[in-house]
Amino acid sequence: MIGIILGVPELIIFIVAPIVGKNLYRIPYKTALLVGYFLFSLAVAGYAILPLISGKGAYIAVCVILRCFDGFAGAVIETVTFAYLINAVPSSELSYYFAWSEVWTGLGAMIGPPIGGFLYEYTGFQITFILNAVFLAIPIVPIAVYFENTTGQGEDDTEVSFSTLISLRWLWLTAISSTLAVLAFGALDSTLELHLKPFNLTPTQVGLLFLIPAFVYMIAGPICGNFQDRIGGKPLILVGFVLQAVGFCLIGPYPVGIWKSKIWIIIMGLLGIGLGGSLIIIPAVGVLSAETAYLGESVNELLSGLFPSFYALGSFIGPILGSGFGQILGIATGYGIFGGLSALMVFVLALMAIYEYFYWKKEYLSTPLINKEQEKINEETPIITSN
C-alpha cells in the first residue's frame, strides 16, 4: 500500500501531462503555472493534518487524495515549464538548456531529503510540511511579476499536429528510450540497498552509492546536451543504452557467477548507468524536437506534455519492476533483465540507423540532378549581398 501511495503522483503525471500540453492553447502559460504552484503548496501543507486523522481507511484516503493533487500540480508545472523552454530557445540549443534545467532538478532531488530530515528532526512532522509549503509558494511572486502570459497555438493547428505526431516512429522510440532510462534509476532505488547488504556497508556509504547515478547524470547532462546540439542525438542514445546494459551486468553481476561481486565493480556499473541515462534522456529531447520541426510551432505544447509523461511512466514502473524481479527471480537476474532491455534497444536503434541511412541514400540518388544543383546553389548563395 505504501508503494502504491508513493507512486500515485507519477501515475497522475503520466496521464495528465499530455492532456495539459494538448490544451495549453486554452490557458495562458503564466496562469497555468501559478495554479500549479498554488495547488502544489496547498497539497504539501495538507500533509500536516495527517496526524489529526483517526482511522486507517480515512488516513489512506486522505493520503491518496493529497498525492493526486501532488501529481496534478506537478504535471501542470512540468508541462508549462517545458513549454516555456521549448518556445524560448532555438531547437539547435534545446538539449543544452534542457540539460541545465535537469541539473537544478537533480540538485533539488539530492539536497531535498537531507533538508527534510533536518527539519523533521528539529521541528517535527507538521512544521516540516508547513515550511515546505511556504517554500513552494515563494516562486508564485516572481512568476506573477516577471513571466510573460503567452499562450499556445490554436486548436485546429494542434489537432492536425497531434494526429501526425502520434504516427512518428521517433516519437515511440524516444518515448521508450526515455522511459527505460528513467526506469533504470527507479529499479536501482528499490533494490540497491538490499543488493549491498552482503558488503556490510554503513548507512552513509550506502547513501553515497545511491547518489552516484544521479550525480553523474546531473554533471554529464550539459556536456551531453552540447554534444547533441553539435552532432545529433541518435548516436548518443545508442551509446547510452550500451553503457546501461554494461552497467547492469556489472552490478548484478550477470550472468550470475561470471565473477565475484565487488564494490569497485558495482561503482563502475553505477557510473555507467548514470552516464548512460544522461546520454539517453538529454538527447531524446533534441531528437524529437528535430524530427517534429516540420510540423511547426503548434507541436511545441504537445511535446511539452509528452516528455514529463515519459519520465513519470519510468519513475512509476521502475521500482515496481525492480522489486518484483528481485523477489521472484533474484536481484542479479533482475539486473540482467534490465541490461537485456537496454541491449535490445541498442539492436533496435542500430537497425533504425541502418534503415535511415539507406532510405535517405535512396531518396538522394532518386532526386533529379537539376534539383541537387539548385540546392547547391541555394546553399552557396549568401543571405545578405552587398551592393
Average pLDDT, the chain: 82
What is the rounded distance in angstroms from the CA atom of residue 148 to the CA atom of residue 81?
12
Identify which has the larger pLDDT, 179 or 366.
179
Give the model's confidence band at 256: pLDDT under 50 very low, under 70 low, under 90 confident, else very high. low
For the chain, the residue count is: 387
The domain spans of the chain are: 2-366
Closest by CA to 37, choosing from 13, 73, 66, is: 73
Q: Read off the C-alpha cell for 223.
A: 556536456
What's residue 257's pLDDT? 59
Q: What is the pLDDT of residues 90-115, one digit of tens each?
A: 777 888 888 888 888 878 877 887 88
Whether residue 379 is predicted with pLDDT greater than 50 in this model: the reply is no
**Listed residue (263, 276, 190) closest to 236, CA to CA:** 276
282: closest CA among 81, 104, 94, 108?
A: 94
Fold (topology level) of 2-366: Growth Hormone; Chain: A; (1.20.1250)
Residue 382 has what pLDDT? 45
Q: What mean pLDDT is predicted for residues 33-40?
A: 92
Residue 177 cell numbers, joined: 528510450
Q: What was the pLDDT predicted at 323?
A: 84
The reported pLDDT for the residue numbered 383 is 37
On the CB side of 144, CA atoms within 13 Å amount to 10
Distance CA 285, CA 244 (A): 19
Q: Pull the grid cell for residue 214.
A: 544521479
pTM of the model: 0.82
